[in-house]
Amino acid sequence: MKFCLIYNKKSAGGRKSNFIKKIYKEIQKQHLVDFYETKNETHASKIIKDLSNRGYNRLLLAGGDGSVSFAINELIKNNFDLNKDFAIGYIPAGTANILQAELGMTKNIKQIAKTLTSNNFDKSNLIKINEKYFVLMAGLGWDAQIVQSIDSSIKKIMGKLIFAIKGFEKFLFMRNKKIKTSINNETFLADWIICSNSKYYAGHHTIAKTNIFDDKIVTYIFRDLTRLKLLYYIYLIAIYGNLEKSKSVITKYNNDIKFEGVDDKIPVQIDGDNFGNFEEIKISKTNKKINFLVK
């Protein structure tokens, strides 16, 4: 098989370079691997745009969850043929690495190489958000404010710690922005929304009764968010891994949801990266699938 390995050197401040190169050399023992180290999205975009001309069977992505989300959107934008034999392999080299938990990936170099060179893959849902797609989750409101407040250069140095610091800061100075949420014929005013395609959230913490291979989206609607309620939600995630235990959280399993900013634009993050601020957001389940190599 022919492999394309793209390593986002910006992920985790480039601290995983030796780890990535060891996996590369392990795969290279028996397979042809083109290895690209990218420092920006423009460079990665050019490589992905040329994939169809090079006859790759596998695209291996080394970076964070956002790196994978970016690559998938680039594949779709360039009308890449996501045929039944083409698959994406993930090498966890980011900050949170939620996809690592979803795919059952270990940190063992030989085991990762074995998974990436196997034919063991499964089809993941792709969820559309406006004109783009995500694999794991979209957060509207509170957690998106945290993501947007983090400087990428500081994130490289501090890693997960900066999320804790900024999260505590947003907790102390909580300023909620109302989001009008429309699902079927129901309308809710919310302070925070999580639309999850993933079982995990904020690292390897269970949050939902789903995973990226299930054919459903779980939407958690947090109304009247307070500091006390937020602490309770964190407790539910840490102890039970299930937000549905809270009566104040509205849980919906719907394929189409619409969100509108009430007094201001909605801050949004997808797969842990800043997506921007929008007056309106539409999220829907699609028929698009992507093959992921799994353990």
- 126 found inside a domain: no
Cα–Cα distance between 265 and 268 in angstroms, integer?
9
pLDDT digits (tens, 9 = 90+) for 187-228: 999 999 999 999 999 888 899 888 999 988 999 999 999 999
At residue 256, the pLDDT reads 95
Show the domain range for 219.
132-286
Same domain, 96 and 160: no
At residue 13, the pLDDT reads 65
Same domain, 140 and 107: no
At residue 177, the pLDDT reads 87
At residue 229, the pLDDT reads 94
SS3 letters across 47-71: HHHCHHHCCCCEEEEEECHHHHHHH
Same domain, 195 and 263: yes
pTM for this structure? 0.91
Q: Which amino acid is at 77?
A: K
Q: Which amino acid is at 96?
A: A
At residue 186, the pLDDT reads 94
| Whole-number Cα distances in Å, 53 to 8, 80, 89, 138, 286 | 22, 10, 20, 33, 27
Same domain, 151 and 265: yes
At residue 139, the pLDDT reads 97
CB 251 within 8 A of CB 233: no
Residue 229, Cβ density class (10 Å: 0-12 exposed, 13-18 middle, ≥19 buried):
middle
CB 212 within 8 A of CB 136: yes
Tokens read off for 107: 């940190």
> End of a domain among 70, 87, 119?
119
Cα–Cα distance between 161 and 101 in angstroms, integer?
20
Q: For residue 58, what are the contacts with CB-CB under 8 A and spacing of at least 6?
A: 1, 2, 3, 4, 86, 87, 88, 89, 116, 293
**Which residues of the chain, if any, have pLDDT below 70?**
12-14, 156-157
Phi/psi at 42 (nearest 5 deg)?
-60, -45
At residue 204, the pLDDT reads 85
Number of domains in the chain: 2
* CATH number of the structural domain spanning residue 47: 3.40.50.10330
At residue 82, the pLDDT reads 80
Same domain, 233 and 275: yes
Same domain, 78 and 113: yes
Same domain, 137 and 90: no
Tokens read off for 93: 């080299």
Same domain, 105 and 179: no
Same domain, 148 and 280: yes
| Whole-number Cα distances in Å, 233 to 106, 225, 244, 246, 257 | 28, 10, 10, 8, 23
Question: Given the DSSP bridges, would you call strands 218-222 and 266-270 parallel, antiparallel or unpaired?
Answer: unpaired
